[in-house]
Amino acid sequence: MTFVTRAELLEVCRLVYDRWLTNAGGSNFSGRLTADSVLLTATGNAKRTRLRMSADDLLHVKLDGTILEGSGELSSSWSTHRGLYQAFPQIGAVIHAHPFYATIFAAHQRDMPVLLDGMRKYGTIPCLSGHNKIDSAPFVEEVVSVFGEHRDTATRTGFGVLYPGHGVLVAGPTLDDAYDLLERMEFNAAALILGRLLDGTPPPPPAGSSDE
């Protein structure tokens, strides 16, 4: 684990938005600034700024939720970010986002299998149960439990989960690890989905349609 700088976090925010790894509907980014505090994007950051922020837009937050610097409110994602930081001291960065292709797996509540070599060290990316409201206490417990089942991978290279009907979360020892996994997941998802065209597999008919 290494600590993040404001410049590094802002750069990753910009890249994630520009590379269609999230949308204005919501996303949150954080990275450890010290052992017991993080830099965090405030609520509504993507909608307001399209992730074009300045250093003053980032919150410096203790793990107990106390805002030490910055203006704005803690995002709803904060509880999940904090849960991972508290459970895994080796985790140095967390990203919640809505990548274009990977979110399709989340929308259909399907685990994402490995297709590309670059995903083999992570293994299948699981989709959460969908039984718990996102960022509620039971949801945080579920995320921490799933990461715990993959503790070695999560603390060595990073790991991720899919939020049913919503998006993804990735976390890793460093901000670079978390961002790297987010991109790899998206390329893997695109290869899986678009590969159906090579196989000649027809898309499913729209809901409510009938074959004639």
Is 46 in contact with 61 (CB distance < 8 Å)? no
Q: What is the model's pLDDT at position 48?
A: 61
pLDDT band, residue 210 (cuts 50/70/90): very low
Neighbours of 152 (CB within 10 A): 8
What digits encode the pLDDT tens for the residues 121-165? Answer: 999 999 999 999 999 999 999 999 999 999 999 999 999 999 999
- Concatenating the DSSP letter of every residue in 136-188 gives SHHHHHHHHHHHHHTHHHHHHT-EEEEETTTEEEEEESSHHHHHHHHHHHHHH
Task: Flag whether the pTM goes above 0.75.
Answer: yes
Is 61 in contact with 44 (CB distance < 8 Å)? no
Q: What is the mean pLDDT of residues 174-202?
A: 92
Question: What is the CATH code of the structural domain delimited by 6-199?
Answer: 3.40.225.10
Q: What is the model's pLDDT at position 44?
A: 62
Q: How many residues does the chain have?
A: 212
- Concatenating the DSSP letter of every residue in 188-209 gives HHHHHHHHHHHHTPPPPPPTT-
Structure tokens at 29: 């980014």
Question: Domain residues of the chain, as ranges?
Answer: 6-199
pLDDT band, residue 49 (cuts 50/70/90): low
Q: What is the model's pLDDT at position 57?
A: 85
